[in-house]
Amino acid sequence: MRRGARSGLFTMVAVHSTVRGPALGGCRLWHYDDARAAMRDVLRLSRAMTFKSAVAGLPLGGGKGIILAPDPAGPTRRGLRADALRDFGDTVEALGGKYVTAEDVGTSARDMEAIASRTSHVTGLSRRRGGSGDPSPWTALGVHEAIKVCCERVFGTPALRERTIAIAGLGHVGARVANLCAKDGATLLLTDVDRSKRELAGDLGAHWLEPDAALAAASDVYVPCALGGVLDHASAVRIGAPIVAGAANNQLADDDVAELLAQRGVLWAPDFVVNAGGIVNISVELEAQGYDPRRARTRVRGIGDTLQRIFDAAHATRATPLDAAMTLARERLAEAQAAAAIPRA
């Protein structure tokens, strides 16, 4: 945790694990009520990144970065944003490669270029800078693959034609998921707290719902792509779909909600498996042979295979998909830890 010499704003980086490789996690520019809330968030998010990378089989650990915005509007003084980003770059550089940053809530590929002026441990740079650019198309591709796997599990076919899919949250990822599902012939129910997104519903011939109606709407798949914590003990009993698979992080307010969903016959695809497309793409960017979007596409589509493995394990052990996913992550972390402990000849 450091106070920026240029901006005066606090920056934080949490490194949860490097046992599988450098800790990868985005830089979040966000306003918190106090530093304690920011500290809790960066620690929680870094831990989640460890398990996300491990389940995806990536040679990466888990980390997260935060720039504490002075107010909900973000940095407002002219030049403050650029100063804060450079200050964050200094924090990243101080860790000597143990942490690699990327874009996250409140930051963009352009912001990564500002950070890169102070450290080389940056991913998600623009294509002209040798990076892979905006990660949201890759996250959306992974969500689309997960939806098809879930449909095959529940309905016996991955085809989305004639399926009704409710998507909550039409940001960069949610809008792309909607477009992919529309191309597959699905009937769409769309919602967002930003009513200007209703235009997308018109473009896709979709039905528009009010935000509080989407969860309980009669559908085949509910796709949360907005804020986390959407599934708690009260909302879990209101779900109108037999499948939940979306891009939102930390969808379960408590882990025991996974058991409640299973008891109700709702197939929940663990969010940290479904939304891993962005970091899978970034892992390709970090490979020695350089970035290749074709290689990235193949790897991201492998999210479907990982999800099948998790569902098979959950069925075989009578566990929830969450338990099966966490078991897989812990196995891969233990394997890496054991390999690191073996003396080299």
Q: Which amino acid is at 247?
A: A
Residues 334, 67: Cα–Cα separation, whole Å: 32
What is the 3 state secondary structure string of 29-91? EECCCCHHHHHHHHHHHHHHHHHHHHHCCCCCEEEEEEEECCCCCCCCCCCHHHHHHHHHHHH
Which residues lie closer than 8 Å to 265 by C-beta, 6 or more apart? 242
Residues 166, 191: Cα–Cα separation, whole Å: 8
Residue 197 bears catalytic tag: no
First to last CA, the chain: 38
Phi, psi angle pair for 207, to nearest 5°: -90, 135
Residues 292, 132: Cα–Cα separation, whole Å: 9
How far CA 222 is from CA of 76, 96, 189, 191, in Å, comes to 37, 42, 9, 11
Tokens 């085809």 belong to 159
Residues 10, 11, 12, CA angle at the centre, nearest 5°? Answer: 125
How far CA 205 is from CA of 75, 181, 188, 199, 213, in Å, comes to 38, 12, 8, 10, 19
Q: Find how far residue 151's CA is from the centre of its chain.
A: 21
8 Å CB contact between 249 and 215: no
- Among residues 52, 64, 148, 197, the one annotated as catalytic is 64
Q: Residue 22: CA atoms inside 13 Å, Cβ hemisphere, count?
A: 22
Active site amino acids: 64
